Amino acid sequence: MKKKITYFETTKDNHTLETFVIVEQKLRETGIRKIILASTTGRTALKAMEYYSGKGITLMAADGGLVKSGESVIAVAGTGANSDTALVMQASNTRNLNKLRVNEILCKPYNAL
């Protein structure tokens, strides 16, 4: 099986919008309906709500009981205020961390030495 991964050359540029586009494409391809989004200040969550507004995407978290353990989700996180990493994962709560699985890397910084 071959899959495409987008590597961002730097973490200095803001790749949030590009990450959202990549995630949206994967949502369409897979039928996954849930995104788990890391947002320290809430700015990224607001950007996501604006970007996905009217597109039917639900932002949820496993520990709140809103995502079932083993359910396919897309996790979005990043560097500083920049969302530059997206993974297709099987969700798990903190009590069953050993069941957490990364199925596919959609995008991430290259992190050259």
* 61 belongs to a structural domain: yes
* 37 belongs to a structural domain: yes
Distances (CA, A) of 29 to 22, 88, 99: 11, 12, 24
Q: pLDDT (tens digit, 9 = 90+) per residue, 72-111?
A: 999 999 887 789 999 999 988 878 888 889 999 999 999 7
DSSP 67: S
Please give the tally of structural domains in the chain. 1
Any idea what the CATH number is for the domain that residue 89 is in? 3.40.1380.20
Domain of 65, in residue numbers: 6-109
Burial class (CB in 10 A: 0-12, 13-18, 19+), 66: middle
Phi and psi angles of residue 93, each rounded to the nearest 5 degrees, phi first: -95, 175
Between these two residues, 31 and 81, which has the higher pLDDT value? 31
**pLDDT higher than threshold 50 for residue 60:** no
* 1 belongs to a structural domain: no
As a whole number of angstroms, the distance between CA 27 and CA 36 comes to 13
The pLDDT, as a whole number, for residue 25 is 95
Write down the pTM of the prediction: 0.84
Q: What is the mean pLDDT of residues 45-67?
A: 69
Q: What is the mean pLDDT of residues 57-61?
A: 52
Which of 3-7, 17-21, 37-41, 61-65 has the lowest average pLDDT?
61-65
